[in-house]
Amino acid sequence: KAGVTQTPRYLIKTRGQQVTLSCSPISGHRSVSWYQQTPGQGLQFLFEYFSETQRNKGNFPGRFSGRQFSNSRSEMNVSTLELGDSALYLCASSFWPFGDEQFFGPGTRLTVL
Amino acid sequence: AQTVTQSQPEMSVQEAETVTLSCTYDTSESDYYLFWYKQPPSRQMILVIRQEAYKQQNATENRFSVNFQKAAKSFSLKISDSQLGDAAMYFCAYYTGTASKLTFGTGTRLQVTL
């Protein structure tokens, strides 16, 4: 089975721009979660989606949004980028959201200049 | 607040030796799941082991095993016969149905020396 894929792998943007990151889960997995990893804050939860519904959202401003499609693929969008949004964005998928193993993608490295 | 504490920022072990990484957590939930993830320099997060809190038996995956002490809220990872490829950041995490998310610790950087 193919693993979790994330596109793009690297992204450079300037302040004020917006960005969309994509995540394709493992085939058959219906739950997708997003995490932000930075040296200062560590790994922080962004969203969890299951069957196209957002089940939970982390403590991030409204500039961070996401969605899940009927094929379980997910996207997250960050508008009005700030320097502090520079991070590794990790997507994880699982078959079931309730404590099932989450398998992570390789991440998208976002740099905001 | 629900938290995960990894008190060892860095650990070192010689090849073929055994090392134990510590993790404590704080939750008021009775039903939850605990995980250890490994993140090598490639930054790919790899699931090492999973423990269901309602199971008393400690989980084991080949050279990796855990010591789960529910009353003490402790979940340590033991790596036996350490290999150079085990060098990585190791993150402890838990998941509760109420929070619907993985809560991670700050990580322990493991070095493996010859």
Q: What is the pLDDT along chain B (114 residues), one digit of tens a residue?
A: 669 999 999 999 999 999 999 999 998 888 899 999 999 999 999 999 999 999 888 999 999 999 999 999 999 999 999 999 999 999 999 998 888 889 999 999 999 999
Low-confidence ranges of chain A (pLDDT < 70): 1
SS3 A84: helix
Q: Which residue of B has its CA nearest to A5?
A: B44
CA distances from A22 to A19, B4, B89 (A): 10, 29, 25
The pLDDT assigned to B78 comes to 98
Q: Which residues in chain B have Cβ-Cβ distances shorter than 8 Å to A103?
A: 47
Q: Is A48 an 8 Å CB contact of chain B?
A: yes
Q: Which residue of A has its CA nearest to B31?
A: A99
What's the longest Cα–Cα distance across chain B? 44
Taking any CB pair shorter than 8 Å as contact, residues of chain B touching chain A are 32-33, 35, 37, 42-47, 50, 52, 91, 93, 95-97, 99-104, 106-107
Other residues' Cβ atoms within 10 Å of the Cβ of residue B23? 27
The pLDDT assigned to A23 comes to 98
Q: Which residues in chain B have Cβ-Cβ distances shorter than 8 Å to A45?
A: 101-103
The pLDDT assigned to B30 comes to 84
The pLDDT assigned to A93 comes to 96
Shortest Cα–Cα distance, A98 to chain B (Å):
6
Q: Is A99 an 8 Å CB contact of chain B?
A: yes
Instruction: Label residues A33-62 b or e (16+ Cβ within 10 Å = b).
Output: bbbbbeeeeebbbbbbbbeeeeebbbebee
Residue B86 makes CB contacts below 8 A (sequence gap 6+) with B13, B38, B79, B110, B112
Residue A77 makes CB contacts below 8 A (sequence gap 6+) with A18, A19, A20, A21, A64, A65, A66
Strand partners, B3: B26
d(CA A49, CA A63): 18
Q: Which residues in chain A have Cβ-Cβ distances shorter than 8 Å to B43?
A: 37, 88, 106-107
Contact A98 B46 (CB under 8 A): no
CA distances from B51 to A10, A57, A99, B57, B75 (A): 33, 24, 10, 9, 9
Query: How many residue pairs from chains A and B have C-beta atoms closer than 8 A?
Result: 51
The pLDDT assigned to B2 comes to 67
The pLDDT assigned to B1 comes to 63
